[in-house]
Structure 1
Amino acid sequence: MIIEAAKIYKVLGNTTRLDILYFLRHHKEVNVSTIVNHLSIAQPIVSKHLKILRQFQLVTYRREGTNYYYALNDPHVVEMVDDMLNHVKHEIKGEPHPQK
């Protein structure tokens, strides 16, 4: 399981993929064009990143004619990234981390 977790962390180590996941977090389901327009990135690049996210079951998709619609598959993954961002925020500010 450690190896699989490391693979997912590698997938999440890309800012474009994180941008896509955070965008999908706030939208139930969107087509590729909407993601492209929001991120201002070329469609082939967005599609490449969506394919990787699909391979690791981080997003789901459905096809309707020539359109593909994507949705976040596991909101827990974005929450995990939120935790990391909070960690980074504390590190940058030199603040102690909250104890659970």
Structure 2
Amino acid sequence: MAMAKQEVIAEVAKIYKVLSNERRIRIVTCLMETSEPISVNSICELTDLEQPVVSKQLNLLHQYQIVCKEKQGNKVLYTVDDPHIVEMIADMINHVKHELVGKPHPKNLF
């Protein structure tokens, strides 16, 4: 049974709320820029965030299926879980780049 439109919109709002945190965006974009799964320590180095902060944010991102994790030995490695999220964040980054330099946006394609 398909979710009702109102339920879908409520879930969309929850995901936007999760992605409204700068630290989580830094973590996701870090993962978007890597070609292989990476560890929490690597994410800390690449984002300049402390390990407890990264771990907490990764847990929330995993809960909403934005990142996935796999255990390899005593390490847990992370990747972005959903290409839709990658596309959405990349589109928002491009939007902001246009805004920063005052470029017009492409015409509505709908």
TM-score bracket for the superposition, by shorter chain length: 0.7 to 0.9
Structure 1: 4+ residue segments shifted above 6 A: none
The whole-number CA distance in structure 1 between the counterparts of 2:86 and 2:22 is 13
Letter in 2 for 1:51: N
- Aligned residue for 1:60, secondary structure, equals strand
User: What is aligned with 1:69?
Assistant: 77
Which residue identity is paired with 1:80?
M
**Contact (CA 8 Å) 1:58, 1:74: kept in 2 or not?**
yes
What is the count of residue pairs matched by the alignment?
Answer: 100
Q: Which runs of 5+ in 1 are unaligned?
A: none
Q: Residues of 1 paired with 2:28 and 2:92: CA distance?
A: 15
Say which of 9, 33, 44 aligns to 1:36: 44
Residue ranges of structure 2 left out of the alignment (5+ in a row):
1-7
* Identity of matched residues, %: 45
Secondary structure at the aligned position of 2:10 is classed as helix
Name the larger-Rg structure: 2
Greater length-normalized contact order (CA 8 Å, ≥ 6 residues apart): 1
TM score, norm. by length of structure 1 = 0.87
Compute the RMSD of aligned alpha carbons: 1.5
